[in-house]
Structure 1
Amino acid sequence: MLGLRGRRALVSGASRGVGRATALMLARAGADVGVGYATREAEANEVVGLARDLGVRAFAQAADVSTPWGAEMLFERCLVELGGVDVFVANAGIWVPDDVPLAGMADAQWERTITANLTSVFQTVRLAARFVTDGGRIVIVSSTAGQRGEAFHADYAASKGALISFTKSVAVELAERDVTVNCVAPGWIDTEMIERPLAERRGPIEAGIPLGRVASADDVAGPIVFLCSTLARHVTGEVLNVNGGSVLCG
Structure 2
Amino acid sequence: MSAGGRFRGARVLVTGGGRNIGRAIVERFAGEGAHVAINTLAEGEADELAKQLSTDERRAIAVPADVSDPTAVEQMLTRVHSELGGIDVLVNNAAVPMLGRVPFFELTLTEWDRQFAVGARGTYLCTRAAAERMGPGGCVVNISSIGATKAHRDAVAYDATKGAIESFTRAAALELAPHGLRVNAIAPGAISNDRFQGIPSAVQAAEVTPIPLGRAGTGDEVAGVATFLASDDAAYITGQVITIDGGLSVQARQATSEVELESERGGTT
Work out whether the TM-score is over 0.5: yes
Compare the two structures and name the one with the higher helix fraction.
1
Greater than 6 Å deviation, 4+ residue runs: none
Q: Check whether the contact 1:79–1:85 (CA below 8 A) recurs between aligned residues.
A: yes
User: 1:108 matched to which residue of 2?
Assistant: 110
Q: Give 1:200 deviation, angstroms.
A: 5.0
2:41 to 25, 38, 43: 38
Q: Give 1:97 deviation, angstroms.
A: 2.2
Q: Check whether the contact 1:88–1:132 (CA below 8 A) recurs between aligned residues.
A: no
Kindly tell me: are residues 167 and 198 of structure 1, through their superposed partners in 2, closer, same or farther at Cα, counting changes over 3 Å? farther
Q: Does 1:117 align with 2:158?
A: no
Question: AA paired with 1:37?
Answer: T
Kindly tell me: are residues 87 and 198 of structure 1, through their superposed partners in 2, closer, same or farther at Cα, counting changes over 3 Å? farther
Residues 120-159 of structure 1: pairs in structure 2 closer than 5 A:
120-159=122-161
Q: Distance in 1 between matches of 2:176 and 2:226?
A: 19
* Deviation larger for 187-196 or 58-67: 187-196
Residues 168-187 of structure 1: pairs in structure 2 closer than 5 A:
168-187=170-189
Q: Check whether the contact 1:97–1:196 (CA below 8 A) recurs between aligned residues.
A: no
Q: Check whether the contact 1:15–1:40 (CA below 8 A) recurs between aligned residues.
A: no
Q: Which secondary structure does the structure 2 equivalent of 1:62 belong to?
A: coil
What is the TM-score of this pair, normalised by structure 2? 0.88
Q: How large is the Cα RMSD of the aligned pairs?
A: 1.6
User: 1:203 matched to which residue of 2?
Assistant: 205
Q: Distance in 2 between matches of 1:115 and 1:194?
A: 24
Q: Distance in 1 between matches of 2:249 and 2:34?
A: 32
Structure 1 unaligned spans of 5+: none
Residues 47-58 of structure 1: pairs in structure 2 closer than 5 A:
47-53=49-55, 55-58=57-60
Structure 2 unaligned spans of 5+: 255-269
Residue identity over aligned pairs, in percent, reads 33
1:161 to 160, 163, 166: 163
Q: Give 1:142 deviation, angstroms.
A: 0.4
User: 1:29 matched to which residue of 2?
Assistant: 32
Q: Check whether the contact 1:136–1:179 (CA below 8 A) recurs between aligned residues.
A: yes
Q: Which secondary structure does the structure 2 equivalent of 1:140 belong to?
A: strand
Q: Give 1:79 deviation, angstroms.
A: 0.8
Q: Distance in 2 between matches of 1:41 and 1:141?
A: 24
Q: Does 1:60 align with 2:62?
A: yes
Alignment size in residue pairs: 249
